[in-house]
A and B are shown apart, each in its own frame.
Chain A
Amino acid sequence: MAAHTQPGRPNQLFRNLNSKVASIPMILTAVVIFLGGTIWTVTYSFTNSRLLPRLSFVGLDQYERLWDTPRWVVSIQNLATYGCLSLIFSLTIGFILAALMDQKIRFENTFRTIFLYPFALSFIVTGLVWQWILNPEFGVQSVVRSLGWTSFTFDPLYNSDIVIYGILLAALWQGTGLVMCLMLAGLRGIDEDIWKAARVDGIPMWKTYLFIIIPMMRPVFITTLVLITSGIVRVYDLVVAQTSGGPGISSDVPAKYVYDYMFFAQNLGQGFAASSMMLLTVAIIIVPWAYLEFGGRKRRG
C-alpha cells in the first residue's frame, strides 16, 4: 500500500501508482491470454476448421450441428443433473459435517484430516478408485453378494440410466471435505457472544443455525458456491477415469465433447463451437449474479 498524501487533489489515475504498476503483468495476462484466447476461440467457432485452424467462415453451421447432435444434448442434461445435485449435496453435507465438527468434539483434528483427505487426491485417482468400488465384479455388489444377499444389484457405472449418479457419488466423496473446511472456518468466525445471546433467549440450536448463523456466513457461502460451480462446469477427468463417457454416451459431459471433437474427430470448428456454448452458459449464469454480488454492493464493504 503506497500512501500518496500530498496536499491538493491528486490525479485519480496516479493514485496508488505503485500497486497499479505492480498489477500490470496480471492485467496483461488476463487481457492477452483469457480475453484474447476467448475471442480467438469464438471467432474460429464460425469457421469450418478441421485439424488445423483456418479462416473460412461458415456462419452458424457449427452451432446448428452442435444442437442437432444427440450426444451434446445428453451431455448438457448430464451436466445439469450433476450440477444441481452436486451443488445441493456438497453444500448440505459439507455444512452438516462442519456443524457437527463445531460441537467441540474430541479428536477434531483427526476427523478433519480424514474428511479432507479425499480432496488431496486428483480426480483421476478418485475416478479410478470409485470405478473399482462400483464395479459389479469386485466392488460393493460382489461384497454384499458374498455376504449372502445374492440378488443384490448395484452397478451404477454399467447402467445408462443412473450412471451420472455414480459419478456424482465420487465427486461428493472427493469434494465435501473442502466444503466442510470452508464452512468450519466460517463457523469459527462467528462471535461466541452470538451463541450466548441465542442461548439466553432460549432459541433451539437448529434454529440458531438456520436463522442466525447461516445468514451471517453469507460470504463464506458465496466463496464456496463459486468454487463448487467452477468445479462443476469443468468436470471432465472424473468422467474419463470412471466411465470414459459410457456406457455408450450416457455419462458424457460438455468438456469431454469439446475435447473429443477437437482432438479425436479433428474438427476444431465443432469443438470451438461447443466450448463457446459452455462459455456462454457460464456467462449467462455467473455474470449477472456476480455483478449483483460484488459489483453493485460497494456499501457492504
Chain B
Amino acid sequence: MNIRSIAAVLAATVALPLGAAHATDLEVTHWWTSGGEAAAVKELATAFDATGNKWVDGAIAGSGGTARPIMISRITGGAPMGATQFNHGRQAEELVQAGLMRDFTDLAKKEGWDKIVRPASLLKSCTFQGKIYCVPLNIHSWQWLWLSNDAFKKAGVAVPKNWNEFVAAAPALEKAGIVPLAVGSQAWQSTGLFAVLTVAIGGKDLYQKVYGDKDAKVAAGPEMAKVFKAADDARKMSKGTNVQDWNQATNMVITGKAGGQIMGDWAQGEFQLAGKKAGVDYTCLPGLGVNEVISTAGDAFYFPILKDPAKTAAQEQLASALLAPKTQVAFNLKKGSLPVRGDVDLAAANDCMKKGLDILAKGNVVTSTDQLITQDTQKQLEDLMSQFFANASITPEDAQKRFAAIFSKAD
C-alpha cells in the first residue's frame, strides 16, 4: 500500500463519522430481515422519519443469535449505534449494569408508560434499580402451532384441533409425502419448541417451576418426562425437514410441503406476505390447542449512551415514536405481533391475532424464557436440544437427565 492510498483511507475514516454526524441520523440495529419483518420495520422507519429525523437502517441478517454479539461488541467497543433491538428480558442486563445504556425514566414518567404498557412485566424487565432502560415495542408469543389446511386435505385427514390429534395425524401426512412438523435446524428453534411443549403439555405451573424457579427436581420429575415424550414425538415428526431458517420452515407450511410448525407468532407475518388467510388457508392453535397460554416475549429497544447531544435528542423522539398508538398498530399488524398498549384499536387484526388478544385480555400469560433464564443457560439448552433433535439415538430419558443438570446449575 503506498502513501497515497493510506492517506485516502485515513481521510475516509475521518470523513465518515463527520458525514454520519448529520445531527439527526440515527442508526438503529435489529435482526428483522425476513419479508414480513422487513415490511414491519419500514413502518417504524416511517414513523421516526415523520419526526424530522432520519432512520438509518442497520439490519443484521442471520437471526438474533448472530446479531446480538455484533451489537454487544459495538456497544462495549465504544462505537454504539443510536438504538438497538433486544428481546424482552435479560439479554442486555449486564450492559445496563455496566452503565452503557441510557436511562429513560424521565420520558417514561412524562408519557405515563406505567399506565399504558401491558402486561406490566414488560416494563418491569426494562427496569433496573428503579430506572427504566428500554422501550417495549411488541409482544411475541412462542406458543403457536401453525397448520397448513391444504396439507391435511391432501393427506385426507381433518385439520387437528390440538397437539394430540396432530401427533395422531402424522402417519397419514407422512404417507402423503408431507413432513408432519417442520423444524429448522438452527438451535434456537428446537429449544423454543421445547419450551412451548413444556407450557402446553405440562402446564403453566410446571413451566414456572422449571424455567422460573430452576427447580432441578421438578425438571427431573415425571411431569417433565411427559414433555420429553412429546419432544420425542416432535423429533420423529420433524424428520426430513432439512432447512435452516425458521422462515424457510414456515414456507414449507405455507406451500403445503409440511403439515405444521411450532413457531412464534412472527410466523404470521410470512403467511400474510404470502397472501394466505387465517382460518381458510392456515389454522393457528395457541398453546398447541392444549393449554391456551401465551408468553409475553417480544422486542424492546435499548438506547446506548451517546456523546452527541443532537443524537441524544433524536433517541428520545424515537422512544416516544415507538410507543405512539399509530406506530404500535401499523407495526404490529405487519409483524403479526401484539401491541404493548392495551388502549389501541386493532379492528384490522386477523383471526389469529384476535385469539392472541383474547388470551392476553384473560391474563393467561407466562413470562417468556428470555426473561427467566440467562443467555448462558439458553445456550446450554440449545446445545442439548439441537443434539436431541438431530440425533435419534439420544433417548428422552438421557436428555431429561442432562436437562435437569443444566437447571441444577442455572441462576
| A-to-B contact residues, CB < 8 Å | 50-52, 65, 68-71, 137, 158, 160, 246-250, 260-261, 263-267, 270
A246–B375 touching, CB < 8 Å: no
Among the listed B65, B72, B383, B388, which residue makes an inter-chain contact with A51, where contact means beta carbons less than 8 Å apart? B72
**A138 nearest CB across to chain B (Å):** 12
Chain B residues in 8 Å Cβ range of A267 = 375-376, 379
Contact residues of A: prevailing secondary structure:
loop
**A90 nearest CB across to chain B (Å):** 29
Q: Given A160-B391, A248-B389, are A265 and B379 also a contact pair (CB < 8 Å)?
A: yes
Chain B residues in 8 Å Cβ range of A137 = 242
Chain B's closest residue to A137 (CB) is B242
Chain B residues in 8 Å Cβ range of A260 = 379
A266–B185 touching, CB < 8 Å: no
Bound-state CA distance A50–B389 (Å) is 28
Chain B residues in 8 Å Cβ range of A264 = 65, 68-69, 375, 379
B387–A249 touching, CB < 8 Å: yes
| B-to-A contact residues, CB < 8 Å | 65, 68-69, 72-73, 76, 93-95, 98, 185, 242, 374-376, 378-380, 383, 386-391, 402, 405, 409
Among the listed B68, B69, B376, B387, which residue makes an inter-chain contact with A270, where contact means beta carbons less than 8 Å apart? B376
Bound-state CA distance A282–B203 (Å) is 49
Q: A50-B376, A51-B95, A65-B409 are in contact. List 11 more A-B contacts (CB 8 A).
A: A68-B405, A247-B391, A248-B391, A249-B390, A250-B390, A261-B376, A264-B69, A264-B379, A265-B378, A266-B94, A267-B375
Among the listed B72, B374, B386, which residue makes an inter-chain contact with A246, where contact means beta carbons less than 8 Å apart? B386
Bound-state CA distance A247–B380 (Å) is 16
Bound-state CA distance A133–B194 (Å) is 33
Can you identify 14 A-B contacts, CB atoms within 8 angstroms? A51-B94, A69-B380, A70-B383, A137-B242, A246-B390, A248-B389, A248-B390, A249-B383, A261-B376, A263-B72, A264-B65, A264-B68, A265-B380, A266-B72
Cβ-closest 6 pairs across A and B: A248-B390, A265-B379, A263-B69, A247-B390, A51-B94, A248-B387
Bound-state CA distance A177–B213 (Å) is 56
Bound-state CA distance A160–B393 (Å) is 10
Chain A residues in 8 Å Cβ range of B94 = 50-52, 266
Q: Given A51-B72, A160-B391, A250-B391, are A266 and B376 also a contact pair (CB < 8 Å)?
A: yes
Chain B's closest residue to A50 (CB) is B94
Bound-state CA distance A134–B95 (Å) is 42
Chain A residues in 8 Å Cβ range of B405 = 68
Chain A residues in 8 Å Cβ range of B76 = 52
Bound-state CA distance A250–B187 (Å) is 13
Bound-state CA distance A137–B242 (Å) is 10
Among the listed A50, A51, A158, A266, which residue makes an inter-chain contact with B242, where contact means beta carbons less than 8 Å apart? A158
Chain A residues in 8 Å Cβ range of B65 = 264
B375–A265 touching, CB < 8 Å: yes
Bound-state CA distance A70–B409 (Å) is 15
B376–A246 touching, CB < 8 Å: no
Most B CB within 10 A of own CB, among A50, A68, A71, A248: A248
**B248 nearest CB across to chain A (Å):** 13
**A72 nearest CB across to chain B (Å):** 9
Bound-state CA distance A51–B77 (Å) is 13
Chain A residues in 8 Å Cβ range of B93 = 51
Bound-state CA distance A247–B398 (Å) is 18
Bound-state CA distance A263–B409 (Å) is 20
Bound-state CA distance A68–B380 (Å) is 12
Q: Given A52-B98, A266-B94, A266-B374, are A248 and B388 also a contact pair (CB < 8 Å)?
A: yes
Bound-state CA distance A263–B375 (Å) is 10
Bound-state CA distance A261–B376 (Å) is 7
Chain B's closest residue to A267 (CB) is B376
Chain A's closest residue to B98 (CB) is A52
A70–B391 touching, CB < 8 Å: no
Chain B's closest residue to A252 (CB) is B383
Bound-state CA distance A158–B243 (Å) is 11
Chain A residues in 8 Å Cβ range of B387 = 70-71, 248-250
Chain A's closest residue to B65 (CB) is A264
Bound-state CA distance A52–B75 (Å) is 12
Chain A residues in 8 Å Cβ range of B374 = 50, 266
Chain B residues in 8 Å Cβ range of A50 = 94, 374, 376
**B77 nearest CB across to chain A (Å):** 12
Chain B residues in 8 Å Cβ range of A246 = 185, 386, 390
Q: Given A246-B185, A247-B185, are A261 and B379 also a contact pair (CB < 8 Å)?
A: yes
Most A CB within 10 A of own CB, among B65, B379, B383, B388: B383
Chain A residues in 8 Å Cβ range of B402 = 70
Chain B residues in 8 Å Cβ range of A158 = 242
Most B CB within 10 A of own CB, among A247, A250, A261, A266: A266
Chain B's closest residue to A72 (CB) is B383
Chain A residues in 8 Å Cβ range of B388 = 248
Bound-state CA distance A270–B406 (Å) is 14
Chain B residues in 8 Å Cβ range of A160 = 390-391
**A166 nearest CB across to chain B (Å):** 14
**B214 nearest CB across to chain A (Å):** 16
Bound-state CA distance A265–B94 (Å) is 13
Most B CB within 10 A of own CB, among A51, A68, A69, A71: A51
**A49 nearest CB across to chain B (Å):** 10
Chain A residues in 8 Å Cβ range of B383 = 69-71, 249
**B307 nearest CB across to chain A (Å):** 21
Bound-state CA distance A270–B374 (Å) is 14
Among the listed B95, B376, B386, B389, which residue makes an inter-chain contact with A265, where contact means beta carbons less than 8 Å apart? B376
Bound-state CA distance A177–B405 (Å) is 47
Bound-state CA distance A100–B388 (Å) is 47
**B361 nearest CB across to chain A (Å):** 35
